Amino acid sequence: MRTEGHPRRHVVIMCVVTTLLGCGLLLQADSKQEAAVARQDLVRANTRFAFDVYHELATETGNLFFSPYSLSIALAMTYAGARGATEGQMAEALRFTLSQSDLHSTFGTLNTDLVGWTKEIDSVRLSIANALWGQHEHPFLPEFLDLLETSYGAPLLQTDFAGNPEGARCGINDWVSEKTERRIEDLLAPGSITPETHLVLANAIYCLGTWKHPFDEELTQDAPFHRHDGTEAWIPMMVADASFHYTEGDNVQAIELGYAGDRLSMLILLPDQGMFGQFEAAFSVERLDAIVTEMRPRHVWLAMPKFELTSEFCLAGVLADLGMPDAFSAAADFSGMDGAHNLFIGRVAHKAFVSVNEDGTEAAAATGVIMTLSLPRMVRVDRPFLFLIRDVGTGTILFLGRVMDPSTR
């Protein structure tokens, strides 16, 4: 009797196993490639949205600073509940091209990648936090809540907007303050939360980075900064003489300052004297790509100001102008949040802070999206009116009249 296995059977089994392993590796490779393409699409969309918002805000004079990524996250969480025309308008305004499911899962992996590497470096901190506060016992859809917790790490925190709107506002502001190391205070202004508020979606982002090559504080001296209007301001100017990524041309100089860890950087774009307005108006994603591509390591003598900025915006008008007006009106469809059609965005609040000195940069921002319950339409028939009696099925008008004075017959 033969006891050994059949050699052909062994060969067949090995071939099958090898084929299955190969298919598994191919599927895994395809999945990774698809995820990489999705992330690239999302980053591109967020970048275009950043430029859109910048150009809207830049119409005002003075300093300007905001976090487009904070805005994108907070509005993406809101977009998760949008349906119908509201969903389409938001996708266009926010420049989203991915499907709802792909978009949110990609945001989740992108957030993880952005903050994960900083855990290995003591001199750099980057944190991204999300949360939502819902009216106690409001019937939000479980699939909506699960999506936000899974993709954004945003738990639902029960609160009582109807009974204690001011207490709810202070609680949300306290959360923002804590998540931004006390740099963003009072994100939601007094009166912004009302008994009609039913949901607030919030993002907070905080970054603390040490320069890869810190400036020597002893070399910092007051020097003139030439304002756009031709006047001067004397401010502390930091000085460095080192190798930086640099390029110049087409009326601009560009220099990139790296932070410890080599993942974060500050890119400074310095238009030629008198060319700021022209350069800013034409600045685009494509122009940025061209500048970054042209940059090379160069020996540069750099003088730049120490500065600290705080900005605050209510962005409903900006976002409506960018193509999502329905979201801020009774026409809004956020039925993906609770199955009803009675929520709309009442306010989008954003605050940002940045401080740049010889050691590095500290920056923080927060965004709050306030969802408001539509109030019942009031119809008070106390002035002249028309009225029709009609067959709804066919549209036939059976009677037609007007009332000018119901006190007379």
Q: What is the pLDDT of residues 342-397, one digit of tens each?
A: 999 999 999 999 999 999 999 999 999 999 988 666 677 888 878 888 888 888 78
Q: How confident is the model at residue 1 (pLDDT cuts 50, 70, 90)?
A: very low
Place of tokens 């600073």: 65
Q: Are 46 and 95 in contact (CB under 8 A)?
A: yes
Question: In which element (H, E) is residue 135 found?
Answer: strand 124-135
Q: What is the pLDDT of residues 79-132, one digit of tens each?
A: 999 999 999 999 999 999 999 989 999 999 999 999 988 877 888 999 999 999
Q: In what order do the strands lie in the sheet with 156-159?
A: 156-159, 124-135, 197-210, 360-373, 343-356, 307-314
**In the predicted model, is pLDDT for residue 229 greater than 80?**
yes
> So what's the pLDDT on residue 185?
97
**In the predicted model, is pLDDT for residue 21 greater than 80?**
no
Tell me which residue of 343, 308, 301 sits closest to 326, measured CA to CA: 343
> So what's the pLDDT on residue 48?
95
Report the C-alpha gap between 189 and 169 in whole angstroms.
Answer: 8
Q: Are 64 and 57 in contact (CB under 8 A)?
A: yes
Rounded to a whole number of angstroms, the CA Rg of the chain reads 28
Show the domains of the chain with their CATH numbers.
41-210+313-373 (3.30.497.10), 231-305 (2.30.39.10)
The percent helix, strand, coil of the chain (3-state, each to 5) is 40, 30, 30
> So what's the pLDDT on residue 3?
44
> So what's the pLDDT on residue 123?
87
Sign for the CA dihedral angle at 369, 371, 377, 378 comes to: negative
Q: How confident is the model at residue 136 (pLDDT cuts 50, 70, 90)?
A: very high
Q: What is the pLDDT of residues 261-319, one digit of tens each?
A: 888 999 999 999 989 999 999 999 999 999 999 999 999 999 999 999 999 999 999 99
Chain mean pLDDT for the chain: 90
Residues with Cβ within 8 Å of residue 322, at least 6 apart in sequence: 52, 53, 56, 93
Report the C-alpha gap between 315 and 50 in whole angstroms.
Answer: 13
Q: How confident is the model at residue 409 (pLDDT cuts 50, 70, 90)?
A: confident
Question: In which element (H, E) is residue 169 found?
Answer: helix 165-179
> So what's the pLDDT on residue 379?
74
Rounded to whole angstroms, what are the CA distances from 362 to 205, 333, 353, 354, 359?
11, 38, 8, 6, 10
Residues with Cβ within 8 Å of residue 104, at least 6 apart in sequence: 76, 80, 147, 151, 152
Residues with Cβ within 8 Å of residue 337, at least 6 apart in sequence: 81, 140, 141, 144, 199, 343, 371
Region of 359 (left: φ > 0; alpha: ψ -120 to 50; beta: rest) is alpha
